[in-house]
Structures are given as structure tokens and as C-alpha cells.
């Protein structure tokens, strides 16, 4: 066993995010296609073309975002669904990598809102910072999609 770390070693990326909405509402936003398509894997400059979700353990999801002149597909399979506190899924972006990673989302009620803890495991170390930034943008989108319209 060696202490030597190479840039190819996988790492875990963790993000903690506070939301003003209750845990049940936040949890549902991950699994309802019309809601998730507004923020999950969506980009500011892209257009979400497709959001398919089979919200059951063993079920799959597929999101297609058209960005920079190309379609980018995000796919995965649900491993754990424990409403409204825990969601675990395998995740891949086939256009960019054959690598499949695992994302765990924990949602804990806090006052009238909740705190979401996300761990993206198996991320190549050289993509850790970009992955963290990406999840922050995604969770900002989640928060905005759940905000009341005035």
C-alpha cells in the first residue's frame, strides 16, 4: 500500500446546501420529471430536451440538455429511495466518459426548511473542483425552481 496519490485516483465530492422548502418538497423535486427537468443537469445556456424518470429502486433516469450545439445525455439508476430523506443513484454522462459514479443525497428537516447533503463518490481527482462547482449550480437551480413566484 502506498501513500502516493495520482491524478487518476477517485475522490468524493461533498456539498451541503440549505433550502427554505420542506424536505418532502425538495425530495419530490428530484423525482418528478416536470420539476427535475427545470434544474437537474440543466444549464443556463442550454435547453432541456428530455427528462425521463422511473422513480423506483432499479428504475432509471435520462436527461438530455442541448448545449453549445450538441445534446448532452445524463443517465443513471436509482439504488436507494427513502422518502423524503435519502436518494442514492448511479450516474454517468456517456458523451464524456464511460465512468459510472454514485451520488447520495441526504435531506434533513431543519425548521420550516431543510439541509441537503450531497456526496458524489468516485469522481476522478482532476474533476473534483469542477464537479463541486457543477453541483452548486445545480442546487442553486433547485432552490430557484422551488422559490415562490411573486
Would you tell me the crossing angle of helices 128-146 and 23-31 to the nearest 10 degrees? 110
pLDDT at 1 over 50: no
90, part of any domain? yes
Residues spanned by the domain of 66? 10-146
* Cα–chain center distance at 69: 23
The residues pairing with 106 across neighbouring beta strands, listed in sequence order, are: 86, 117
Residue 38 lies in a domain: yes
pLDDT at residue 142 is higher than 70? yes
Q: Is residue 111 part of a domain?
A: yes
Q: Is residue 26 part of a domain?
A: yes
| 1 occurs within a structural domain | no
CATH number at residue 33: 3.30.530.20
DSSP code per residue over 42-74: --SS-EEEEEEE--STT-EEEEEEEETTEEEEE
pTM: 0.90
pLDDT digits (tens, 9 = 90+) for 30-77: 999 999 999 999 988 889 999 999 999 999 999 999 998 999 999 999
Tell me if 85 is assigned to some domain. yes
At residue 64, φ and ψ (nearest 5 deg) are: -125, 120
Q: How far apart are CA 17 and CA 147, in angstroms?
A: 15
For the chain, the domain total comes to 1
Give the three-class secondary structure for 78: strand
Amino acid at each position: 500500500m502506498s501513500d502516493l496519490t495520482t491524478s487518476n485516483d477517485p475522490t468524493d465530492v461533498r456539498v451541503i446546501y440549505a433550502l427554505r422548502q420542506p424536505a418532502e418538497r425538495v425530495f419530490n423535486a428530484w423525482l418528478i420529471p416536470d420539476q427535475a427537468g427545470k434544474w437537474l443537469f440543466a444549464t443556463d445556456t442550454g435547453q432541456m430536451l428530455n427528462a425521463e424518470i422511473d422513480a423506483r429502486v432499479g428504475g432509471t433516469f435520462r436527461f438530455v440538455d442541448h448545449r453549445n450545439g450538441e445534446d448532452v445525455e445524463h443517465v443513471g439508476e436509482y439504488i436507494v429511495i427513502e422518502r423524503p430523506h435519502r436518494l442514492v443513484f448511479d450516474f454517468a454522462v456517456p458523451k464524456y466518459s464511460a465512468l459510472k459514479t454514485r451520488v447520495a443525497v441526504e435531506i434533513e428537516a431543519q425548521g420550516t426548511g431543510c439541509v441537503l447533503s450531497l456526496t458524489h463518490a468516485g469522481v476522478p481527482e482532476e474533476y473534483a473542483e469542477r464537479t463541486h462547482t457543477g453541483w452548486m449550480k445545480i442546487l442553486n437551480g433547485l432552490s430557484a425552481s422551488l422559490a415562490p413566484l411573486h
